[in-house]
């Protein structure tokens, strides 16, 4: 039986499950993971913390993850307290809870694409109408055009992504301010997705600085990228306390397990060691930008741990396949003529650059 033969919602019938290709290759550089695993001292502390938590698994965990939220608030700074922070199983669950509260049937959400595709998919999964706003040719967002789109469509939720995925560039705070002002005038919430913020270039300000003046603003983060904890599934947000109170209406009871809370709190005790890998990743990102630019490829400036670049001749599928033939998996996000590669270790980056150069030479010979 095909699942479409079941009595599923009509608005889900034409959707397909989200997922990047999972192919067993020597160099997986397609999902923006941190290439450096947790340091040995963290692994040892995690084992102890999880063992301790395991002794009470017959009891439900702290329903509101209060201690974890305190630790996350301390990490974020900017005057953020436990009352400003919420945590869930990855930032995607955070986004889902936001849309369960502020979206839903009869409401809409707008995002400016290309951007993180899960914003659209989670909106659709929560029966929230999706409105696709557009970016400029260089993938930046024009503040006046964004404001005009908000005034025209009057959405319930506005999504911004900084640094943007898949393009990589952080957003100017003046754009966020303008969007937040326009959203406030139509009664909309603004979500600034900062999943990759720790990789931003020096001097890049966070939207966290705008929270005190914008009670409808939500800033989401994750421990999957810079913290190298993708397997732990921990995402969080910072917002006005009223937003946290609203999210309690839809969060499932005991949604964040005791083991997850223990792992996240332990990781936050090792924040210096974990974030110590960020500079190494940024160095490889900048190396990719420099070498691809030297090859004459168009490259989008990146504040993330990945690089979005153009393909000669525009056939990104052919280049993706040839690079894969060298054991290097990068990402085709479906934008014609563009590919995305995650910055890896020095050796992984070298493997990608060698594969890319050889693949480009072959394609040039075939043309």
Average pLDDT per consecutive 10 residues, the chain (367 residues; last block may be shorter): 86 80 92 94 95 96 97 97 98 98 98 97 96 96 98 98 97 98 98 98 96 97 96 97 98 96 96 93 98 97 98 94 98 96 98 98 83
pLDDT at 14: 80
Token pair of 58, please?
A: 């017959």
Domain with CATH 3.90.1150.10 in the chain: 22-37+277-366
Single out the residue of 203, 199, 131 nearest to residue 162, CA to CA. Answer: 199
Per-residue pLDDT, 4: 81
**Separation between Cα atoms, residue 137 and residue 114, nearest integer Å:** 11
| Separation between Cα atoms, residue 294 and residue 268, nearest integer Å | 39
Contact at 8 Å (CB) between 166 and 136? no
Kindly state the helix (H) or strand (E) to which residue 363 belongs, with its residue range: helix 346-366
Q: Which of 179, 181, 195, 182 is nearest to 141 (CA)?
A: 179
pLDDT of residue 367: 67
The residues, any chain, with a CB within 8 Å of residue 194's CB and separated by 6 or more, are 162, 163, 206, 207, 208, 219, 220, 221
Q: Which CATH number fits domain 40-270: 3.40.718.10, 3.40.1440.60, 3.40.640.10, 1.10.238.10?
A: 3.40.640.10
Give Cα separations from 252 to 137, 224, 248, 352 (angstroms): 41, 22, 8, 42
* CATH 3.90.1150.10 for domain 22-37+277-366: yes
Cβ–Cβ < 8 Å for 62, 92? no
The conformation of residue 212, written as its DSSP 8-state character, comes to: G
Please confirm whether the linkage preceding 80 is cis (ω < 30° from 0).
Answer: no
65: left (phi over 0), alpha (psi -120 to 50) or beta: left
Kindly state the DSSP code that residue 4 receives in the 8-state scheme: G
The model carries a pTM of: 0.95
- For every residue of 87-135, DSSP letters joined together read EESHHHHHHHHHHHHH-STT-EEEEEESS-HHHHHHHHHTTPEEEEEE-
Q: Where in the chain is the domain with CATH 3.40.640.10?
A: 40-270
What pLDDT does residue 22 have?
82
Question: What's the rounded Cα separation, in Å, for the pair 127 and 107?
Answer: 8
């Amino acid at each position: 039986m095909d699942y479409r033969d079941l009595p599923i919602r009509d608005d889900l019938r034409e959707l397909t499950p989200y997922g990047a290709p999972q192919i067993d290759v020597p160099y997986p550089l397609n999902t923006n993971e941190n290439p450096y695993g947790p340091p040995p001292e963290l692994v040892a502390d995690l084992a102890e913390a999880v063992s301790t938590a395991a002794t009470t698994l017959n009891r439900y965990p702290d329903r509101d993850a209060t201690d974890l939220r305190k630790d996350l608030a301390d990490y974020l700074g900017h005057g953020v307290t436990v009352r400003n922070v919420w945590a869930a199983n990855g930032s995607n669950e955070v986004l889902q809870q936001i849309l369960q509260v502020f979206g839903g049937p009869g409401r809409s959400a707008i995002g400016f694409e290309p951007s993180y595709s899960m914003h659209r998919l989670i909106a659709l999964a929560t029966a929230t109408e999706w409105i696709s706003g557009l970016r400029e040719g260089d993938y930046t967002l024009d503040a006046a055009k964004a404001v005009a789109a908000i005034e025209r469509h009057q959405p319930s939720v506005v999504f911004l992504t900084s640094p943007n995925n898949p393009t990589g560039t952080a957003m100017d705070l003046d754009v966020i301010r303008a969007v937040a002002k326009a959203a406030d005038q139509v009664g909309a919430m603004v979500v600034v997705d900062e999943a990759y913020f720790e990789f931003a270039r020096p001097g890049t300000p966070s939207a966290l600085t705008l929270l005190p003046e914008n009670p409808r603003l939500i800033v989401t983060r994750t421990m999957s990228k810079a913290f190298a904890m993708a397997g732990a599934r921990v995402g969080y947000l910072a917002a006005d306390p009223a937003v946290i109170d609203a999210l309690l209406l839809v969060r499932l009871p005991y949604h964040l397990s005791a083991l997850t809370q223990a792992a996240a709190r332990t990781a936050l005790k090792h924040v210096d060691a974990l974030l110590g890998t960020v500079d190494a990743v940024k160095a490889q990102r900048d190396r990719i930008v420099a070498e691809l630019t030297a090859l004459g490829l168009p490259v989008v400036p990146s504040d993330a741990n990945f690089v979005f670049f153009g393909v000669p001749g525009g056939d990104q599928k052919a280049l993706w396949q040839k690079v894969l033939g060298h054991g290097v998996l990068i990402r085709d996000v479906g934008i014609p003529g563009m590919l995305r590669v995650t910055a890896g270790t020095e050796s992984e980056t070298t493997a990608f650059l060698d594969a890319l150069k050889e693949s480009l030479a072959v394609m040039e010979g075939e043309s």
